[in-house]
C-alpha cells in the first residue's frame, strides 16, 4: 500500500502521454530556467526603481547615479549568464514543449501543463528579457539621464515585470 502511494504522484506527473513521448529531464530544465530567470528579473526591480530623488521635485525625468548604473549592469550580466547556462543545445525545443500535456503535482495541488501555453509563456519571458536588457543599456548609454519618453518606458517596464513573471511562474509552480 505504501509503495502504491509513493508511485501515484510519479504516475500523475507523466499524465496521459505514453512514456516514450515525455522527457522528465526536459521538464526539469525548463523548470530550473524559469525559476532562475524570473527570480533575476524580479531582482532588477529595486534598482530600476532606484533613480535619484531630489527634494521638492517630481523626480521626473528619471536620473540614475553611477552606483545604481553599476548595479543595473550587474543585473544584466546576471540575466545573460542565466540564459547562457540554461539555454544550451540540450534545452528542450519549442516543438517538444508544444507537444506536452502533462499533469503536474506539487504538494496537494494538481494541474495540467499545456505545452502550447508554455511555449507562449517562454516567448513572453524572452521578450521581457529583451526589454529589460535594452532598458538597462539605455540607462547606461545615457549616463543615467533619461528624457521624459525614456522615463515613461522605464516605468511601463517596471509595471510589466512582476505580472508577466507571475503569469509564467503560475504555469509551472502553482
C-alpha cell read off for 136: 538597462
Instruction: Please give the full DSSP string across 42-65, using - where no structure is assigned.
Output: HHHHHHHS-----TTS---S-B--
Within 10 A of 169 (CB to CB), how many other CB atoms are there? 17
Per-residue pLDDT of the chain (174 residues; tens, 9 = 90+): 333 344 445 544 544 444 445 789 999 999 999 999 999 999 999 999 887 766 555 667 888 999 999 999 999 999 999 999 999 999 999 999 999 999 998 889 899 999 999 999 999 999 999 999 999 999 999 999 999 999 999 999 999 999 999 999 999 988
Q: Look up the pTM and report it.
A: 0.83
Read off the CATH number of the domain in which 23 is found: 1.20.120
Q: Total structural domains in the chain?
A: 1
**CB of 151 closer than 8 Å to CB of 108:** no
Looking at residue 62, what is its pLDDT?
87
C-alpha cell read off for 66: 553611477
Looking at residue 111, what is its pLDDT?
92
DSSP 3-state of 87: coil
Question: To 10 degrees, what angle do helices 66-86 and 115-141 make?
Answer: 150
Domain range enclosing 105: 2-173
Looking at residue 58, what is its pLDDT?
66
Looking at residue 56, what is its pLDDT?
52
Looking at residue 6, what is its pLDDT?
42
Nearest 10 degrees: Cα torsion 109, 115, 117, 120? 130
User: How many angstroms separate the CA atoms of 15 and 11, rounded?
Assistant: 7
Amino acid at each position: 500500500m505504501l509503495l502504491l502511494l509513493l508511485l501515484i504522484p510519479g504516475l500523475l506527473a507523466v499524465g496521459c502521454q505514453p512514456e516514450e513521448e515525455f522527457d522528465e529531464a526536459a521538464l526539469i530544465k525548463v523548470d530550473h530556467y524559469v525559476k532562475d530567470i524570473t527570480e533575476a528579473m524580479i531582482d532588477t526591480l529595486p534598482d530600476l526603481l532606484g533613480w535619484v530623488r531630489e527634494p521638492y521635485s517630481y523626480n521626473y525625468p528619471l536620473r540614475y547615479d553611477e552606483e545604481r548604473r553599476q548595479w543595473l549592469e550587474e543585473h544584466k550580466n546576471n540575466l545573460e549568464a542565466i540564459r547562457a547556462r540554461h539555454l544550451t543545445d540540450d534545452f528542450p525545443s519549442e516543438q517538444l514543449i508544444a507537444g506536452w500535456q502533462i499533469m503536474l503535482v506539487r504538494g496537494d495541488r494538481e494541474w495540467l501543463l499545456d505545452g502550447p501555453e508554455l511555449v507562449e509563456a517562454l516567448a513572453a519571458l524572452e521578450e521581457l528579457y529583451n526589454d529589460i536588457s535594452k532598458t538597462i543599456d539605455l540607462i547606461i548609454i545615457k549616463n543615467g539621464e533619461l528624457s521624459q519618453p525614456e522615463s515613461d518606458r522605464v516605468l511601463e517596464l517596471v509595471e510589466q515585470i512582476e505580472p508577466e513573471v507571475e503569469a509564467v511562474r503560475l504555469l509551472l509552480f502553482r
